[in-house]
Every structure is written in structure tokens, then in C-alpha cells.
A = this chain, B = another copy of it.
Amino acid sequence: TSEGGSEPVAAQAAGSGPTFKELVVTTEDNITTIMLNRPTKKNAITTEMYNEIVAALDQAAKDSSVLTVITGAGDFYCSGNDLTNFTKIPEGGIEELAKKSGDLLRNYIKAYIDFPKPLVAVVNGPAVGVSVTVMALFDLVYATDRATFHTPFSKLGQSPEGCSSYTFPKIMGASKASEMLLFNKKLTAAQACDQGLVTEVFPDASFQTEVWSRLKAYAQLPPNSLALSKQLIRAAERERLYAVNDAEVERLVERWLSDECMAAIMGFFQGKSKL
């Protein structure tokens, strides 16, 4: 089952929905779980996985489950955008690559903004980049005490996404948000909890047991009440989040074509820089 610990598990068909190459999607006890399943690559998100996650969220929105969970297979939650995505240059050149990557990202973030049911992150290990920024769009974020939260945008010559340029200052104040988003500060799970990004931290030994027994209880609550309450909370911010997503993607497309970003990514692949 999806609760079973850190090993990737065989995919179970989830009704008549699409099947996935890099995800394991299961539904049990009123909970649909989307598990990122590239543990040997720390669950880094490839171009294909972005599309698969969007499809899995779309499917979960329509199925009969009450809660939807995102988690990672293995010891990592997610290492963020797979930088090899930037090495597959299409015929249109890097301008085309940047534009397409921007469209992909905008669409990916929009799937989180628009998700109509309670969405839960079960953060089973370190999280990096876009997997951290979107956490502010979840309704619950449970983390093992082994988890860390790292958004090294400027080290890669990039800029914040996932609506974090708006949500992080809103949650933790500008002075702490900037330390993460501009200056690459890596937070421990306890720090991320103190600063409002994480709902609660659990000891790693009991993490899966405690979290899933709690989620199973939550999944027995009146489903419409949960979904409509979540939508009410989101409604107060939805238009703002769309606008922020657009602004962030626009800036990031420019950044991807900048000398700073190209040099930083080149350095990363040449092993010259460490995140």
C-alpha cells in the first residue's frame, strides 16, 4: 500500500483513469495518493512527470476520494525540477525551450491552484525547489523530521515560482521569506513548521504510521463540507494566485535565457557548483 514506507510500490490501476510511467497513483480508504516514483533520481520532476502529475490531479479531482495526497517514493520527497529538462533543446532553440518550459510550469502550478479537494503533502524526506514552493498551495503539509526545505533559485540564476513570491511572504513575513527565496537558506522541518509552511513534524520512525492514521480519520469527514470549505478558502485568493503565477513564469522565462542562469546551470552539470 501507499502507506508502506519508503520502497516504491507496484502501481495499482485507479479505476479507468490514465496509467502513469513515473507516478504510482492509488485510491484507498477515501484517499487518492500520488506517489512520485523516481527514487533513484530523488524524484526529480521530468517534463513527462509534470504532465503526469497534472493528469493525476485532474483524475483525483473527479474520483470519489475525499483527500488527495502527494508523497515521494524512497528517502527523498522531491528534488524539484530535473535540470536535464534544460538539456533537451528543441528545433526552435533555447528560446523555444524556455517558452515551452514556461507554459509547462504555468499549467502545472495552475493545477494546484485549481485543485478542488483538500490536498495533503506527506513530506517523507528532503524537498527542493518547486516541490517546496507549491507546498503553500496545499491544505496540510505533514513532514518527517528528516525533511528539509530548500529553494536555491538564485544559485541557479533563477527566480521564485509556484506563487511563492506571494505566498511565502504572506505566511512567514518578507524577512524570512527572502532568506529562503533570494538567499537559498535551507530550512529544517522544525523551522519550516515554525514559519507556517508545515502543519506538523513527526519523528521519522513513526511518521508514516501517525500521518496515515490521522489522514484516514480525516477522510471520514463529510466530503462536500471539506471540498466546499477548501474552495471557499481558495476563492479569496484565486485571482491573485493566477496573476502571481503568470508574473513568476514570465520572469522565469527571461531568467532561463539569461547569461547568469546559463552559466549557473552549466556549472551545475560540470560539477563546479553545489546547491
A225 touches B261 (CB 8 A): yes
Would you call A140 an interface residue if the criterion is a C-beta within 8 Å of the partner chain's C-beta atoms? yes
A155 CB contact (under 8 Å) in B118, B167, B183, B221: B221
- Interface-located stretch among A13-21, A28-36, A101-109, A172-180: A172-180
24 A-B pairs with C-beta separation under 8 A:
A118-B178, A140-B183, A154-B225, A154-B229, A156-B225, A158-B225, A165-B229, A165-B233, A166-B236, A169-B233, A169-B236, A170-B170, A170-B173, A175-B196, A176-B199, A178-B199, A182-B221, A183-B221, A184-B221, A222-B264, A224-B258, A224-B260, A225-B261, A236-B244
Q: Residue of B at shortest CB range from A198?
A: B175
Listed residue (A166, A218, A236) with the most chain B CB atoms within 10 angstroms of its CB? A236
- Interface-located stretch among A2-10, A42-50, A89-97, A247-255: A247-255
- Interface-located stretch among A56-64, A78-86, A130-138, A203-211: A130-138
Q: How many chain A residues touch the partner (CB < 8 A)?
A: 66
What residues of chain B lie closer than 8 Å to A37, measured between beta carbons? Answer: none
Would you call A228 an interface residue if the criterion is a C-beta within 8 Å of the partner chain's C-beta atoms? yes
A118 touches B182 (CB 8 A): yes
Number of copies: 3
What residues of chain B lie closer than 8 Å to A170, measured between beta carbons? Answer: 170, 173
A232 CB contact (under 8 Å) in B118, B174, B251: B251
Shortest Cβ distance from residue A195 to the other chain B in the assembled complex, whole angstroms: 8
What residues of chain B lie closer than 8 Å to A255, measured between beta carbons? Answer: 225, 228
Shortest Cβ distance from residue A39 to the other chain B in the assembled complex, whole angstroms: 25
Q: Residue of B at shortest CB range from A178?
A: B139
Residues 150-161 of A, flagged 1 when their CB comes within 8 A of B and 0 if not, give 000111111110
What residues of chain B lie closer than 8 Å to A198, measured between beta carbons? Answer: 175
Would you call A235 an interface residue if the criterion is a C-beta within 8 Å of the partner chain's C-beta atoms? yes
